[in-house]
Amino acid sequence: MPDQTVAAPPTLDQLRQYLRAANYLAAAQIYLKDNALLTEPLRFEHVKDRLLGHWGTSPGINLVWTHLNRLIIEHDASVMLVTGPGHGAPANLANLYLEGSIGHSYEQYPANAEGLSRLVRDFSWPGGFPSHLNPQVPGTIHEGGELGYALATAFGAALDNPGLIVACIVGDGEAETGPTATAWHGLKYLDPVTSGAVLPILHLNGFKISSPTIFSTMTDDELTELFRGYGWAPRIVDGDDLDAAMFDAAEWAYQGIRAIQDRARGGETVERPGWPMLILRSPKGWTGPDEVDGQPVEGRYRAHQVPAAKAASDEGHLKALEDWLRSYQPETLFENGEPMADIQACIPEGDRRLGMNPHTCGWTQMQPLATPPLADFAMAIDGRGSTVTSALQHAGTWLREVMEHSAGDRNFRIVCPDEMSSNLLGDVFEATGRAYTWPVAPELAQDSVLRPDGRVMEILSEHTCQGWLQGYLQTGRYGLFPCYEAFVEIVDSMVNQYAKWLKMSQESPFRQPVPSLTYLLTSDTWRQDHNGYSHQGPGFINALLNKKGSITRIYLPPDANTLVSTLDHCLQSTGYINLVVATKQPLPQWLTMDEAIRHCDAGASVWEWASHGDVANPDVVIASAGNIPTIEALAAARLLREHLPELSVRVVNVVDLLVLDSGGGPRHPHSLGEEEFASIFTTDKPVIFNFHGYPTAIHQLIYRRPNPGRFHVRGYIEEGTTTTPFDMLVRNHTSRYHLAREALRRAPGIASRAAPIIDLLNGKLREHETYITRHGVDMPEIRDWKWTE
């Protein structure tokens, strides 16, 4: 369906004038701290002492922005822009000033001489804007501090947004990254009926910091063949008149997108549609100085960052800078800082502006996530530990209903690196399919549940999954990222950037929280005994512990009911990175749904039903966090009760890891107060803590608690191989025998009584080693162990 024309489109001459204004402002931001409109001769004191930002990519970004504006005006199109060359922030800010979006979000930047001067000074200035895109910049959904993730993020924004076109500028240096190479395949997951479109613009300006990019050395034929192979319909944009070439190419791309959508939405099956993409060849630092110090600049790597870098102290550089800036004729572009009428004719109105598109403000687009009542998914507990089931499989039935409940809103998706079925989450496919639009044989599509409108997205690229989900969340929708625990660290750098994005979002005056990014880590360390050492690694917990407490949440539900309760909470939360660790293996179940909800609300609880003796004044506390470590903690408590019944043992379980935080800086919002902490862990008794991850994580959390030396933490210590499940525990000293032995050694006043029991436990460890070497499986007393009241 064609868009309605609402305003006369700008002429090519008006677009050229707009582009001059954007280029001038971009360059001025990098260099000037005063005399922003060159109303007097340029002097050293007008130039910033620290020249930051990247000029080289800015003119190309401005060219794209200019012609997207024209498309929006002529077709009343809803367009947002994801800018991959993140250090091109001067360009984005220049355009945001021209269109008034920056003044809408920040009152100190009105469209007048004072506002323009302040923006120019505040770029890369303390308290101002950084040299790369971040949440302070309106119209952005993507952190520009690290390259490679723009295109996947753009696809995430387009999903389930049928009226939206997401233009994405991909720098040719960025295009060399692995995440970008995979992200081109996103078009095979984009349904032209239920989703919007992504228009990639490969910004081929030739150079990285000091050498040519790979793509710049490829011929036009090589480039078009490459991208046709991906499934795109590429068009080269180049020539002496880039304005005219971009004018025609942008219109061609727009009409191509609408033609595909019109056919698909009219009921036609469109196979291999050939979505348009543009390959923009422009000189590096286009419109900048031809040379500085006798060295060529425009079209060379020297234009990448800051040409004339000594303009604050060198006469030659100062003159080169002034000649360059005056070449844009700023006196013809601005009247007292306000853009001239011909420039304003190139600016869309209201929320059609790129900096004001509502989808870049995801909090304005959010609808509540429809989830089923938890009571309907209560796992029946027939005695503590008697019910044995897979927590992940049970969560899969709940997620199926989440998919069902959210079907009308289409505001929930799951992204996963090809692991849904292996992790027993396949019930979800009763409510939706795997998203895929490329043609496959009908029997294969049916067998694999492939559907163009499917809302589970599986690709063997954790980077792409991360980018998809970030774009989806930032535009106001909800999602879940199940991933093998050992391999989620592939996206550790992306998570680091996203955590910074969320932190800065909290500090940006116009932003509000969007749905949280929730990881469901599966196939965890303790049940990767079959795949071996390469699949064993719980380090993602440590990575999140180093992030701001206002952002991170870490949960280790011990059974199915706590897992479902935790996921229900996480998926409906906003503004966080949630980490949930679970396993697909059938394990004993401990808590009813009501108990699970209370336990999750508390974050940590004394399990009185598992404790014995004088629980109010125990001799020792056995604590755990994680599903398998909890089983071993309970088994250790049972061993102590059996062999030394007069020993009082309190059993504690922690589901919300950050309740332990003792505050190296500000305490985590979930942190237990000292009285609450003491009511659970006592003030002076030894605590044997069996932990899912690296022991250092617990020590990092509790080191400022009173008497932290009484905590004796067991966890993963990088010991593993292909072996039996229980042997993984033995190798890492987290088995029931190790825990019971440690408790006996630490409990006061029982040395003589404890010695023969410790000998017995040591004997059990030797017996275990002999048995698995001979039989290849764990001892029957381990395999068949059950909790008894």
Decide if 555 contacts 626 (C-beta within 8 A).
Answer: no
pLDDT value for 61 = 96
Is 7 inside any structural domain? no
In terms of Cα–Cα distance, which of 212, 257, 201 is closest to 88?
201
Over residues 650-670, mean pLDDT: 92
Average pLDDT, integer, range 24-38: 97
Closest by CA position to 407, among listed 355, 449, 357, 371: 371
301 falls in which pLDDT band (50, 70, 90)? confident
In a domain, 30, yes or no: yes
Q: Are residues 620 and 725 in the same domain?
A: yes
Q: 588, 614, 644 — which closes off a domain?
A: 588
Q: Is residue 61 packed enough to be buried (19+ CB in 10 Å), middle (13-18) or exposed (0-12)?
A: buried
* Whether residue 3 has pLDDT greater than 70: no
Mean pLDDT of 82-102: 94
Question: Into how many domains does the chain fold?
Answer: 3
Asked if residue 583 and residue 623 are part of one domain, the reply reads no
Model pLDDT, residue 7: 65
Question: Residue 543 burial (CB < 10 Å; 0-12/13-18/19+)?
Answer: middle
Domain that holds residue 671: 606-783
Strands 338-339 and 334-335, by their bridges, are antiparallel
Check whether residue 555 and residue 696 sit in a common domain: no
pLDDT in tens, 133-143: 999 999 999 98
Q: At what angle do helices 150-158 and 462-474 cross, to 10 degrees?
A: 50
- Residue 663: pLDDT band with limits 50, 70, 90: confident
CATH of the domain at 495: 3.40.50.970
Look at residue 413 and tell me if it is in a domain.
yes
The pLDDT tens digits for 189-229 are: 999 999 999 999 999 998 888 899 999 999 999 999 999 99
Maximum pairwise Cα distance, the chain: 95
Residue 1 has pLDDT above 50, yes or no: no
Whole-angstrom Cα distance, residue 695 to residue 707?
17
| Dist CA 362 CA 469 (whole Å) | 13
Give tens-digit pLDDT for 468-485: 999 999 999 999 999 999
pLDDT per residue as tens digits for the range 346-380: 999 999 999 999 999 999 999 999 999 999 999 99
Is 292 within 8 Å of 223 (Cβ atoms)?
no
363 inside domain: no
Whether residues 619 and 543 share a domain: the answer is no
Q: Which of 557, 588, 619 is the last residue of a domain?
A: 588
Boundary (domain end) residue, out of 298, 327, 357: 357
50 and 20 co-located in one domain: yes
- Whether 394 and 484 share a structural domain: yes
pLDDT at 598 over 60: yes
pLDDT surpassing 60 at residue 292: yes
Based on the domain organization, do 668 and 762 belong to the same domain? yes
The confidence band for 6, taking pLDDT boundaries of 50, 70 and 90, is: low
**Each residue of 75-93: b (16+ CB within 10 Å) or e?**
bbbbbbbbbbbbbbbbbbb
- The verdict on residue 366 lying in a domain is no
Average pLDDT rounded to a whole number, residues 552-567 = 98
Q: Is residue 291 part of a domain?
A: yes
Distance CA 574, CA 580 (A): 15
Sequence-separated (6 or more) residues with CB below 8 Å from residue 641: 612, 647, 649
- The pTM score is 0.96
pLDDT-above-90 percentage for the chain = 90
340 in the same domain as 379: no
C-beta atoms surrounding 774 within 10 Å: 8
Question: Are 727 and 529 contacting, i.e. CB atoms less than 8 angstroms apart?
Answer: yes
The reply to whether 616 and 573 lie within a common domain is: no
Tell me how far apart the alpha carbons of residues 223 and 234 are, in angstroms, rounded to a whole number. Answer: 8
Lowest-confidence pick of 147-156, 208-217, 394-403, 497-506: 208-217
Q: Which three-class secondary structure state does DSSP give residue 604?
A: strand
- Sequence-ordered list of residues with C-beta below 8 angstroms from that of 648, at least 6 positions apart, any chain: 612, 613, 614, 615, 617, 618, 619, 620
Surface-to-core class of residue 394, CB atoms within 10 Å of its CB (0-12 exposed, 13-18 middle, 19+ buried): buried
- Separation CA 73–CA 610 (nearest Å): 68
The closest of 623, 533, 553, 628 to 584, measured between CA atoms, is 628
When the pLDDT of each residue in the chain is averaged and rounded to a whole number, the result is 95
Amino acid at 742: E
Residue 395 domain-assigned (yes or no)? yes
If you average pLDDT over residues 390-401, what whole number do you get?
A: 96
564 and 643 part of one domain? no
> Does 219 fall in a domain?
yes
453 and 484 belong to one structural domain: yes
| CATH at 692 | 3.40.50.920
| Same domain for 346 and 381 | no
pLDDT digits (tens, 9 = 90+) for 427-469: 999 999 999 999 999 998 898 999 999 999 999 999 999 999 9
